[in-house]
Amino acid sequence: MSFNQQKKEKYTEVNSQVDKLDASQSPELKSLFLMLNKNSENNIVLNLEKTKYCDSSGLSAILIGNRLCKDSGGKFVLAGLQPNVKKLVEISQLHNVLNIVGSSKEASALFES
């Protein structure tokens, strides 16, 4: 499995196990976000520590997760962006739209308040 999930007290953490988040991996991530949303999981942290590359289909999957959480009154957080992925997010101006933190530990602090 390319992504695993871990239910925390106030959110679900999705950990990417892939080196590249591209057209071959993004459908699985989109399906996971849809399943979580259907199960009323509307607070999600996507941890991309292990992902060194992302393309437009990967960004699309991330945006779907963000929209599903937002539409259901929850919060979507990206954590652990590697330099190349972070650069793509910034070039795409998505750092203005997404909640981005350095680590999953920082992400958990966002759900404490």
* pLDDT band at residue 112 under the 50/70/90 scheme: confident
Q: Is the pLDDT of residue 113 over 80?
A: no
Q: Please give the domain boundaries of the chain with CATH numbers for all domains.
A: 3-110 (3.30.750.24)
- Other CB atoms within a 10 A radius of the CB of residue 54 amount to 27
Q: Above 90 in pLDDT, residue 41?
A: yes
pLDDT attached to residue 61: 97
* pTM (predicted TM-score): 0.95
Instruction: Give the pair of three-digit tokens for residue 87.
Output: 């650069």
pLDDT tens for residues 47-104? Answer: 999 999 999 999 999 999 999 999 999 999 999 999 999 999 999 999 999 999 999 9
CA dihedral over 11, 15, 21, 26, signed as positive or negative: negative
Provide the token pair at 112: 């404490």
